[in-house]
Chains A and B, each alone.
Chain A
């Protein structure tokens, strides 16, 4: 059995099931301003995970979020995380796109991530709505949703401190005895659905890379797992792997935003130059 595992590892040559290496991301496609009637909108594909985000606001508070934050002096962020019924693969259909426990939990986590980058004191008694629709799921959908929400806020012209970048790092097989020699020992970034369902821990990290000098300040860690336990000595390596993925994603989104600014600039800025 040991020889079989080792032969399997050597046959793959350190590659994953979809042909990527441990630190490689899936292909990212960005579109901003996809909705005309929303104040800001973004569409983001990361591999086969597809997320659509619309941002409305700042506007007058209404609804249940306004009543809950009635005593707040600052602004209110209302997040709604919705998964389409057709978003799962292999024919599975989700019965309830929003309102279940997972969606409410992810909406709360998304609201905390957005509150950390938006300066809410600029909008007293106002409300910003962020609507997230997951069109297709192939792993890391929460992190892709955070990235898409950041792009939608930029498209809406809302001042934010920095990008909120999410990335996952996953241990594919923690039971292998040859883990220390393998290139997957420190985990793989941008886990797919198959890798998330494998026996191992998946760590989702939302980071503000601009404030990485205070490494723990802008870090929101959302730990997910398929029931497996993670040894504490491997947490640091897994976290560093995810932060490297965050930095790469940030560079890709940065380039996409600059391209969007150049293409969709106002007529008075027709002589714009992109500075790299």
Chain B
């Protein structure tokens, strides 16, 4: 604690300092009996803000991440039926998951408007890559997803010819080879080709 420049290694359960108005426990620590203890094996860092010094412990090994409600996830559609479609969550934000998680996107969560007119087969197909937001979990085994925003929906889709389709509106995509138009719930994102230019 005295050496501010040198990193301090600590282990779980190690007492760091007294907990008072100046020293406040931060992430990776906990308070017990008036002292601040470490919860992780890592490096102690001090975040000074005016008169308050926040004690933080940052781990060297990255921990496995679980989606929280409100996160934007990247998922791949696996099964589509009339009431919902099943997805496999691949990324959370910019972080690629080490293992896939299961998600369910219900018919009522596809759009924000005209919910009763949604047809699942005209919104998603198996193999599509979608952006979705995690909703509060109802079922224990799966994460509830929602694409009821303009920026959420299908971002990558492949046509029957195997080519990556180009969005032409928020409900349609077109194959550049065969010029066939297919229906999707398209996400309002800048395509990579335009972004690269």
Interface membership of A160, Cβ < 8 A: yes
Question: How long is the Cα–Cα vector from A25 to B47 in the complex, in angstroms?
Answer: 41
- Quick check: is B9 within 8 A (CB to CB) of the other chain? yes
Q: Annotate A114-158 by CB proximity to B: 1 below 8 A, 0 otherwise.
A: 000001000101100000000000000000000000000011111
Closest-by-CB residue of A relative to B44 is A275
B141–A66 touching, CB < 8 Å: yes
* Residue B59, interface by CB 8 Å: yes
Min CB gap A208→B, angstroms = 8
Interface residue ranges, B against A (CB under 8 Å): 3, 6-9, 11-13, 15, 28, 30, 32-33, 37, 39-43, 59-64, 66, 98-99, 101-102, 137, 140-143
A59 at the interface (CB under 8 A from B): yes
In terms of DSSP, what is the predominant structure of the interface of chain B? loop
Q: Are B60 and A269 in contact (CB under 8 A)?
A: yes
Cβ distance B37 to chain A, nearest Cβ, rounded Å:
7
The answer to whether B137 and A154 touch across the interface, beta carbons within 8 angstroms, is no
* Tally of contact residues, A, Cβ under 8 A: 46
CB pair A59 B60 closer than 8 Å? no
Secondary structure type dominating chain A contacts: loop
In the complex, besides A209-B13, A261-B42, 7 extra interface pairs with C-beta distance below 8 angstroms are A60-B142, A69-B140, A163-B11, A163-B12, A163-B13, A210-B37, A269-B43
Q: Is A173 an interface residue (CB 8 A)?
A: no
* A262-B9, A271-B6 known; A59 vs B141 contact (CB < 8 Å): no
Which residue of the partner chain A has the closest CB to B89? A60
Bitwise interface map of A from 200 to 219 toward B, beta carbon under 8 Å scored 1, else 0: 00000000111101000000
Please state if B64 and A59 are interface contacts (CB–CB under 8 Å).
yes
A166 interface contact, C-beta 8 A: no
Q: What are 9 A-B pairs at a CB distance below 8 A?
A: A39-B98, A40-B61, A70-B140, A119-B39, A126-B66, A157-B62, A269-B43, A271-B6, A272-B43
Q: Is the CB of B141 within 8 A of A161?
A: no
Q: Do B137 and A125 touch (CB < 8 A)? A: yes
CA distance A273 to B98 in the complex (A): 31
Q: What is the minimal beta-carbon distance from A76 to any residue of chain B, in angstroms?
A: 9
Residue A240 at the chain B interface, CB threshold 8 Å: no
A159→B12 contact, CB < 8 A: yes
